[in-house]
Amino acid sequence: MKKSFWVLIIAAAVVLSACGQKGIENPLNYTVGDFTFTNQDNESVGLKDLEGKVWVADFIFTNCADVCMPMTSNMSQLQDMVEEEGIENVEFVSFSVDPTVDSPEVLKEYGQRYNADFGNWSFLTGYEQEEIEKFAADSFKSLVKKPDNSDQVLHYTTYYLVDQEGKVMKDYDGVTDVPFEQIIKDIKTLQ
């Protein structure tokens, strides 16, 4: 009798824990810290503006010599795929890791080169270098570091899927072998 009681309790715990995952296998469950930054239109965008929406985030900069170009091109392709699928309430957020160079105007021009639809894609800046480094580490468990005497910034080449409550659920390669279909599937799972 006691053994079957404990089996039932364990089974219930497994079922209940799965309910919180919204169907995402092995969710990361990182909590995105509160923020309010400036977008390409010189408007404030913060975590509160993203509440209730699924969003895909990355870290890029416009002066990047290598990985940011394919990352932004791939994000543009993902944005197009989301639109083609008719999925609503999805936002895209690109945090600049080089805020001293990436003004709103520079970010707007950069986004336009990749046919970004600014209706649901924000390119964010308006913070100190130390602030974005700490924000990336605390919220996304992601490295951002601008070495002394270099115009390049070290950063992960990852896309992050964030749920409606501001929890990072999954991450994906944003440069090569981008799992577009899996990302679309995971976005739909969170809807």
pTM for this predicted structure: 0.87
pLDDT beyond 60 at 16: no
What backbone torsions phi and psi does residue 118 show, to the nearest 5 degrees? -70, -5
What number is the average pLDDT over the span 53-76?
A: 97
pLDDT of residue 96: 98
In angstroms, what is the C-alpha Rg of the chain? 18
Distance, CA of 164 to CA of 181 (rounded, Å): 20
pLDDT of residue 23: 82
What number is the average pLDDT over the span 148-169?
A: 95
pLDDT beyond 90 at 36: yes
Q: What is the mean pLDDT of the chain?
A: 91
pLDDT beyond 70 at 48: yes
Distance, CA of 98 to CA of 77 (rounded, Å): 24
pLDDT beyond 70 at 27: yes
pLDDT beyond 70 at 15: no
What number is the average pLDDT over the span 70-92?
A: 97
Tell me the pLDDT band of 20, cut-offs 50, 70 and 90: very low
pLDDT beyond 50 at 42: yes
| Strand partners of residue 121 | 92
Residue 91's CB is within 10 A of a number of other CB atoms, namely: 19
